[in-house]
Amino acid sequence: MSVHKEVLRLYRGIFRLSRTWQSATGDIKETAAEKQYIKDEARELFRKNQNITDENEIQVHIKEAVTRIEMALHYRTPYPRHVNFPQHVLAPLSSKLKKAQKRQIKESIPLYWKSYEDSTK
């Protein structure tokens, strides 16, 4: 299957998921808000990454999307889970991060946060 077809299939699958999504609480307003979040998030991230042409990078983003879908279904929440950094890599408030600390923080970021790396810099 071509990468283009795989991306389109994933995009349609996300919107199909948003139509059938039910919040963990069963609240109608919360379900509607979560459905809208899924649609908005998909549109935003797909548009942000539409100019990527490297197939390996596209595959990384596809894997990220699949991971987020699986986590959303498992935890019954569409919102990304927070990242907890190991305490030993954080610098005291009065100092700057060293190269090794920056590298360890980057290595600690899970796959499902890949699309947010650019926006946090």
Residue-number span of the structural domain to which 72 is assigned: 3-120
Which burial class, exposed, middle or buried, applies to 72 when counting CB atoms under 10 A from its CB (0-12, 13-18, 19+)? buried
Average pLDDT estimate for 36-59: 93
Rounded distance between C-alpha atoms, residue 82 and residue 72, angstroms:
13
In the block, tokens 């077809």 appear at: 5
The amino acid present at 63, given as its one-letter code, is K
Q: Does residue 121 carry a pLDDT above 50?
A: no
The sign of the CA dihedral 49, 55, 56, 61 is: positive
Number of domains in the chain: 1
Report the SS3 class of residue 43.
helix
Q: What is the mean pLDDT of the chain?
A: 84
Q: What is the pLDDT of residue 99?
A: 80
Note the maximum CA span of the chain. 52
CA-to-CA distance for 21 and 77, rounded, in angstroms?
Answer: 10
Instruction: Output the pLDDT for position 85.
Output: 64
Would you place residue 111 in the very low, low, confident or very high pLDDT band (cuts 50, 70, 90)? low
pLDDT tens digits, 69-105 = 998 999 999 988 776 666 666 666 556 767 877 777 6
The whole-number pLDDT of residue 41 equals 93
73: Cβ contacts below 8 Å, ≥ 6 apart? none
Give me the pLDDT at residue 112, please: 67
Alpha carbon distance 22, 24 (integer Å): 7
| pLDDT for residue 67 is more than 70 | yes
